[in-house]
Amino acid sequence: MTGFEEVHVLCQELIPLYDDLDVPAKRVIEKHAEECEVCRTNLTASKKIEIGPREAGENDSLPVQPFKKLILLKKFLTLFLFFIRTVVIGLIAFDFFRHFSPAVPYGLQFEGLRASLVIFYVPLAFFLLLFTWFMKNGKIFWITLIIDLLVIYFFDDAVRFFV
Ligand SMILES: [Zn+2]
């Protein structure tokens, strides 16, 4: 197989997933599509499918390719990791409000809240971020890192609005 044919075979697999690919991979496909009639047609068609949700729905009857399954799994895991974070944050907040008492100095109670964040949320965020890193989910990794830092630094300030 020549280099062109090899890229062509890969393009056949990857064009249906074009929207989920990273920019360098998209560039490779676009470059190949400039020289390859078949892939240019496929690329145009796959872009059209992505535009309308109705057309995309018609595509659901097609068997899901293994690679597409992998991407779906990645998306599911990302949502799941966010869900775990939400649950833990919810439990920390719940615990804080359950023990909250106007009789105890506020400073002391927020000290407790910060301690809960450090004990429970920081290690959780660390492991989940590590997991996201190993999934090679670059974009999501940086987004969640920023969200985690915001939560760790500003969660107690946010809670202050409610008491
Ligand atoms: Zn091609």
Cα angle 105, 109, 113 (rounded to 5 degrees) comes to 165
For position 38, what pLDDT does the model report?
93
Confidence tier at 99 by pLDDT (50, 70, 90): confident
Distance 40 CA to ligand 1 centre (A): 7
- Count helices and strands in the chain by DSSP H and E runs: 8, 0
pLDDT tens by residue, 16-39: 888 888 889 999 999 999 999 999
Domain layout of the chain by residue ranges:
3-61, 66-160
Distance 11 CA to ligand 1 centre (A): 6
The pLDDT of residue 52 is above 60: no
The angle that helices 106-116 and 138-160 make with each other, rounded to 10 degrees, is 160
For position 62, what pLDDT does the model report?
56
Distance 6 CA to ligand 1 centre (A): 9
Confidence tier at 81 by pLDDT (50, 70, 90): very high
Residues 6+ apart with CB under 8 A from 141: 129, 132, 133
Are 132 and 144 a contacting pair, CB within 8 Å? yes
Are 16 and 46 a contacting pair, CB within 8 Å? yes
Residues 120, 14: Cα–Cα separation, whole Å: 40
For position 143, what pLDDT does the model report?
92
For position 49, what pLDDT does the model report?
61
Distance 7 CA to ligand 1 centre (A): 7
pLDDT tens by residue, 121-133: 999 999 999 998 8
The pLDDT of residue 61 is above 70: no
Confidence tier at 71 by pLDDT (50, 70, 90): confident
Mean pLDDT of 90-110: 88
